[in-house]
Every structure is written in structure tokens, then in C-alpha cells.
């Protein structure tokens, strides 16, 4: 299955839609994220002869995931080994599973470390969602310049009004009211934005107009 076919996969599109809907609920977001990457990896493995998961890598990943269900500590060790030795597809699944585990347990240092090991998420939508979450983490740490960079990267991967309003909020917190106002004014001119984005944009604009 090539990239174009993946994007047209109705199952994948339905999961991505759910992912977008849940993006404000981060624990659920990662549960769905793992499922999405699993679907993509599954499709790539069973339909591609040149870019599929290697048998050995798939076997190690399967063992790691099965172990994780019954023994979290042992499963984490095996998943960490997949991050070191697996191929690209298996690393993505292992990364998402580990991020899900550590984030759900408020082990944000470990989450941050996973984001920094350089595993590339090849799907633009998933990459965008991960960058958005990293931006949220930086906002929580009051690292506004880093949040701006991450949100912009998320938008560059996949344009999203939801992330644009987050970007505007980050600019506002960073003290760049002019940039924030420009973004929200542009959003409010877009008739296709959701009511949630419109409400957040209007609220921020009212603050900026004071």
C-alpha cells in the first residue's frame, strides 16, 4: 500500500477523525495514536514487499507488545530494545506505545526524552499531532518560544485551525500580541472553522483588544 492509498484508507481516515476530536484529551489521544500507527504499520507489513516490516523486527515488536499487556516493566524494556534495533515502522509503534505509557503516568521527563531520540514519524498527520502535543507540554512549562516553534511545525505538517489558535495563544503568552492578533483575525474570517476554534479566537481577540 503506497502513501496515496494509505491516505485514502477509510479505516485510517475514521481513526484520524477520532484523533482530531480527542486532541484535547491527551490520555485518550495517545491511545488512539497507538492504534493509528498500528493500522499503518499493519497495512505496510502485509501489503508491501519492499518496504514492509522485517520478519525479525515484527516478531520482536509483537513479543514486546504482548509482554507489555501482562507485564508493563518487562514490556517497556522490550519496547525500548525495539527502538534501538527495529526498523522504521516497528520503531514508530514502539515509540507511540512508550509515549502513551509514560504520559499516562505523568512521567513527562521520559516522554520528552522519547521525543528527542530522533525517530521520524513518516505520516504527516501523526507527526502534526505529536508536534502539537509537544507544544502543549512546552506551554505548561512556560517555554513559549519552543511552543511557538512546535506549533508552527505542526501546522507546516498539516494545516489546522485548532493548532493555529494554540499558536496565537503561545504568541500572546510570549508577549507578541501583534502576531497573535493577526492569527486570530485570520481565523475569524474563515467560515469553515469549528465553533470551538471560533470561540477561542474571539476570546483571545477580546483580550488583545483591551
CB atoms under 10 Å from CB of 48, counted, come to: 13
Query: What local confidence, expressed as pLDDT, does residue 199 receive?
Result: 93
- pLDDT confidence of 177, banded at 50, 70, 90? very high
Can you read off the three cell numbers belonging to residue 72? 508493563
Q: Is the pLDDT of residue 170 over 60?
A: yes
Residue with cell 492504534: 35
- pTM (2 decimals)? 0.65
pLDDT tens-place string over residues 85-136:
888 878 887 887 888 788 778 888 898 899 888 888 887 877 887 888 889 8
Find the range with the poorest average confidence among 11-25, 102-116, 134-148, 194-208.
Answer: 11-25
Residues of the chain with CATH 1.25.40.10: 123-210
CATH (residue range 123-210): 1.25.40.10
Please, what's the b/e burial string for 144-177 (b: 16 or more CB within 10 A of its CB; e: otherwise)?
bebbbbbbbbbbebbebbbbbbbbbbbbbebebb
What lies within 8 Å, CB to CB, of 42 at 6+ separation is: none
Q: Quick check: 66 pLDDT over 60?
A: yes
DSSP string, 107-146: -HHHHHHHHTS-PPP-SHHHHHHHHHHHHHHHHHTT-HHH
According to the model, what pLDDT value does residue 179 have? Answer: 95
Amino acid at each position: 500500500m503506497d502513501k496515496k492509498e494509505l491516505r485514502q484508507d477509510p479505516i485510517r481516515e475514521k481513526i484520524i477523525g477520532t484523533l482530531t476530536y480527542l486532541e484535547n484529551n491527551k490520555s485518550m489521544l495517545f491511545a488512539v495514536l497507538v492504534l493509528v500507527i498500528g493500522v499503518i504499520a499493519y497495512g505496510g507489513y502485509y501489503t508491501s514487499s519492499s518496504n514492509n516490516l522485517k520478519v525479525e523486527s515484527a516478531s520482536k515488536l509483537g513479543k514486546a507488545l504482548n509482554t507489555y499487556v501482562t507485564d508493563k516493566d518487562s514490556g517497556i524494556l522490550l519496547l525500548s530494545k525495539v527502538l534501538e534495533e527495529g526498523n522504521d515502522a516497528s520503531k514508530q509503534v514502539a515509540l507511540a506505545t512508550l509515549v502513551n505509557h509514560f504520559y499516562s503516568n505523568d512521567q513527562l521527563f521520559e516522554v520528552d526524552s522519547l521525543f528527542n531520540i530522533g525517530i521520524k514519524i513518516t505520516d504527516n498527520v501523526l507527526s502534526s499531532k505529536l508536534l502539537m502535543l509537544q507544544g502543549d507540554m512546552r506551554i505548561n512549562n512556560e517555554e513559549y518560544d519552543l511552543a511557538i516553534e512546535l506549533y508552527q511545525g505542526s501546522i507546516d505538517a498539516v494545516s489546522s485551525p485548532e493548532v493555529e489558535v494554540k499558536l496565537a495563544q503561545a504568541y500572546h503568552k510570549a508577549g507578541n500580541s501583534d502576531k497573535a492578533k493577526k492569527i486570530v483575525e485570520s481565523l475569524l474570517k474563515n467560515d469553515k472553522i469549528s465553533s470551538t476554534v471560533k470561540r477561542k479566537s474571539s476570546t483571545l481577540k477580546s483580550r488583545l483588544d483591551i
